[in-house]
Amino acid sequence: MVCLGNICRSPMAEGIMRHKLKELGNNSQVDSAGTGGWHAGQNPDERAVKTMNQHGLDISNLVARQFKKSDFDRFDLILAMDESNYDDILRLSSHDHHRKKVQLILSYSATTDKNSVPDPWFGGMNGFEHVFQLLDEACEQVIKSHFK
Ligand code: 4NP
Domains plus CATH for the chain? Answer: 2-137 (3.40.50.2300)
Catalytic annotation present for 139: no
Is it the case that residue 32 has pLDDT exceeding 90?
yes
Say what the pLDDT of residue 75 is: 98
Which residue is catalytic, options 45, 47, 119, 139?
Answer: 119
Model confidence at 42, in pLDDT bands (50, 70, 90)? very high
Is the per-residue pLDDT at 64 higher than 90? yes
User: Taking phi first (over 0 means left), then psi (-120 to 50 degrees means alpha), and beta for anything else, what does residue 5 get?
Assistant: alpha
Q: Is 116 in the pocket of ligand 1 (CB under 6 A)?
A: no
Q: Calculate mean pLDDT across residues 132-145.
A: 98
Q: Is 8 a catalytic residue?
A: no
| Whole-angstrom distance, CA of residue 67 vs CA of residue 70 | 9
Average pLDDT, the chain: 97
What global pTM score does this model have? 0.98
Mean pLDDT of the 103-110 span: 98
Average pLDDT of span 57-76 = 98
Asked if the model's pLDDT at residue 148 lies above 90, the reply is: no
Ligand 1 centre distance from Cα of residue 20 (Å): 24
Residue 15 near ligand 1, beta carbon < 6 Å: no
User: Does residue 9 have its Cβ closer than 6 Å to ligand 1?
Assistant: yes
Answer yes or no: is pLDDT of 63 > 90: yes
Tell me the C-alpha to C-alpha distance, in Å, between residue 88 and each of 23, 29, 51, 108: 32, 23, 27, 20
Q: Identify the active-site residue in 8, 9, 45, 71.
A: 9
Answer yes or no: is the C-beta of 7 below 6 A from any ligand 1 atom: yes
Residue nearest to atom 10 of ligand 1 (CA): 5
Confidence of residue 97 (pLDDT cuts 50, 70, 90): very high
Q: Ligand 1: does its nearest atom lie under 6 Å from the Cβ of 135?
A: no
CA distance 3 to 32: 8
